[in-house]
Amino acid sequence: VAFLERVETYLNQHPVSGSVAVKPWRQEGKIPDLSTSQLAGSIGGLMVRSGYDIDLETPDYTLALIADGQSSLLAVGWMEGDGSASFESGARRAAERPFFKPVSLDPRLARLAVNLAAGPLGSGPIVDPMTGTGGFIIEASLSGRDGVGIDIHSEMVAGATQNLNWAHGEDSSPTCAISRGDATRIADAIPNAWHGTVSGFVLDPPYGRNSHGSMDNHSLLKATLESSYNVASSTAGFVLILPIEPMGERPYAGVGLDEHVELLSGSWKDLKELMAACGWEIESAHVEHVHRSLSRLILLAKYAPQD
């Protein structure tokens, strides 16, 4: 019931004009005692009561319902590029922003990372410790979440702030901000009231283009993970995105934690050990195919109490 109420809120906040359908799918197995088809039917009934026309064959808009068996998380949202129309029609593409870098993530991946890391709306603020062009915080802000994007470089802070304002029609975001700070000292860059309440962290480390003095990639990631843990809530999530050697197209399949993964920097074994040592338990891993010589590893980890 609570989930359906959140779906209703989402539909009210993101209305569309045209026929609709619900598309459910499972990944990483089944969530116990949950029927995705029955839940999709309930959502369809909710949409009918809200005045939408259902078209299961050729809908103008498709509402995705994703059930992740490994993490027991549910996600819902309008699919982009599916059918004759798509929600927001790619208007937020990274290349359309006033401040753009070629390494910027697709907004759809950024939104997914934000939702996976922070959980339901109202759970608490979200932090991007190395915000770059601000993609994660843009998506957090457009979702109505509280959040802060941190960067050590003044150029990135100015550019990300420009992008955040652009996403809100040149107005300031009512819930999010960009701040100059150090990813290894997050407590100094966020409001004191947020200490111990941050519900999610999203991190796409800009290896090769960011500098923290003489700190190597492993040491920088370790310090950032520890810094995040120190201000996290006991239910916080952490999504980490890293470049890896290509693993092919895997649109519906995750990566087993015992599979071989070739990171572009460091080893998979060392990364798993590092995250555990810093208080983050990996729950699931997925791959995004970028091009024939590059993929991205997307890790979802949860706060794990330390002895």
Chain segment 64-103, per-residue pLDDT in tens:
888 877 678 888 888 865 443 444 535 566 667 776 665 6
Is residue 114 a contact partner of residue 137, using CB atoms and an 8 Å limit?
A: no
Same structural domain, 58 and 113: no
Share of the chain above pLDDT 90, in %: 56
Number of residues assigned to the chain: 307
Same structural domain, 159 and 289: yes
The alpha carbon dihedral of 97, 11, 201, 175 has a sign of: positive
Quick one: pLDDT at residue 87?
41
Same structural domain, 68 and 99: no
- Name the CA radius of gyration of the chain, rounded: 19
Is residue 285 a contact partner of residue 214, using CB atoms and an 8 Å limit?
A: no
Per the structure, how many domains does the chain have? 2
Of the residues 61, 89, 117, which one is the last residue of a structural domain?
89
Same structural domain, 59 and 157: no
Which two three-digit tokens encode residue 57? 């064959």
Cα 113 from Cα 110, distance rounded (Å): 5
Quick check: helix, strand or coil at residue 49?
A: helix
Residue 230 sits at the vertex; the CA angle it makes with 227 and 232, to the nearest 5 degrees, is: 105
Same structural domain, 72 and 198: no
Quick one: pLDDT at residue 252?
57
Give me the chain's average pLDDT, please.
87
Same structural domain, 18 and 164: no
CATH of the domain at 50: 3.30.2130.30
Residue 251: pLDDT over 90: no
Same structural domain, 73 and 103: no
Same structural domain, 76 and 205: no
Residue range of the domain that includes 208: 94-303
Of the residues 66, 89, 112, which one is the last residue of a structural domain?
89
Quick one: pLDDT at residue 91?
55
CATH of the domain at 153: 3.40.50.150
Burial of 58 (0-12, 13-18, 19+ CB in 10 A): exposed
Same structural domain, 251 and 117: yes
Query: Using the 8-state DSSP alphabet, how is residue 263 labeled?
Result: B
Same structural domain, 105 and 232: yes
pTM for this prediction? 0.71
* Helical spans, DSSP H, in 82-133: 107-118
Is residue 86 a contact partner of residue 93, using CB atoms and an 8 Å limit?
A: no
Same structural domain, 273 and 255: yes
Torsion of CA 172, 143, 44, 116, to 10 degrees: 170
> What are phi and psi for residue 301, nearest 5 degrees?
-125, 160
281: β partners: 302
* Non-local CB neighbours of 81 within 8 Å, separated by 6+ positions: 90
Which two three-digit tokens encode residue 71? 């993490």
Same structural domain, 129 and 194: yes
Residue position matching structure tokens 């992008």: 163
Give per-residue pLDDT as tens, 5-60: 989 988 988 888 889 999 887 776 778 888 888 899 999 999 999 999 998 888 88
Of the residues 74, 89, 104, which one is the last residue of a structural domain?
89
Quick one: pLDDT at residue 283?
95
Cα 132 from Cα 205, distance rounded (Å): 9
Q: How would DSSP label each residue in 241-264?
A: EEEES-----SS----TTS---BS
Helix (H) or strand (E) holding 217: helix 217-231
Is residue 4 a contact partner of residue 42, using CB atoms and an 8 Å limit?
A: yes
Quick one: pLDDT at residue 134?
94
